[in-house]
Amino acid sequence: MKFGVVVFPGSNCDRDVVTVTRGLLGQPTRMIWHTETDLSDCEVVVLPGGFSYGDYLRCGAIARFSPVMQAIREHVRQGRLLIGICNGFQVLTEAGLLPGALVRNRNLQFVCDRLSLRVERNDLPWTRGYRQGEVIAVPVAHGEGCYYAEEATLQELEEHRQVVLRYCNQEGEIDEASNPNGSLGNIAGICNRAGNVLGMMPHPERVSDPLLGGGTDGRRLFESLVESLAVV
């Protein structure tokens, strides 16, 4: 199985991801119920967007304790690929699989918009289909997407080139006006040091099917993955 998409109670972007990986890209994909404990058949695991466990306590705070998380840790330990999108990113920071935290948007409002992102590095399995520094348009929809980390962690992220995506203007400049939620450093997506775990607040699965309008800038992320797996 190439792709496994985890379903928590309250996930709502799981089927969108399956529509892309299985429907548009024709890749074997299965859904993973949150009580499963064996993911050894999945090359890439996706933690999708949504409102796992109703966002009670904090987004992702309860999903972190799901039975599936132990298998996900093992998946990561083996160097296999894991991506968390939006609520999935929140679960990854809550679980300590990525550093920092996603806190309430600075203006305390849910933001739903189509934004520009700058691809900070294209040497990862997720981003090889983009140009270095390319500006892409991808939607966001979240209430707790403000990336926060203490100064030392931010420095480490920069030193090890772990910032993968930043909110920017259409020219690719990183400015405060392009920051939808108050994220430090305009951070929209980060990876772990090894590069096999990616978390991002924007939704690439929502801009993958040209039929939906809005472009296909997200589709290349999934295509990059498929290509990376083919050459391994």
Ligand X SMILES: NC(=O)CC[C@H](N)C(=O)O
Query: Does position 143 bind ligand X by CB under 6 A?
Result: yes
CB of residue 78 to ligand X, shortest distance in Å = 26
Q: Strand (E) positions, 27-134?
A: 29-33, 44-47, 81-85, 101-103, 111-119
Query: Does position 16 bind ligand X by CB under 6 A?
Result: no
- Residue 176 among the catalytic residues: no
Q: Strand (E) positions, the chain?
A: 3-7, 29-33, 44-47, 81-85, 101-103, 111-119, 135-142, 146-148, 163-168, 187-191, 197-200
Four-CA torsion 65, 66, 71, 74, nearest 10 degrees: -20
- Which string of x and - marks every residue 47-86 that binds ligand X (by CB under 6 A)? --xxx---x---x--------------------------x
Query: Does position 218 bind ligand X by CB under 6 A?
Result: no
Task: Write the burial class of residue 61 (CB in 10 Å: 0-12 exposed, 13-18 middle, 19+ buried).
Answer: middle
Query: Does position 136 bind ligand X by CB under 6 A?
Result: no
- Residue 205 among the catalytic residues: yes
Query: Does position 87 bind ligand X by CB under 6 A?
Result: yes
- Nearest residue (CB) to ligand X, 145 versus 180: 145
Task: Name the residues that contact ligand X, by CB under 6 A.
Answer: 49-51, 55, 59, 86-87, 141-145
Mind telling me the catalytic residues? Answer: 86, 203, 205
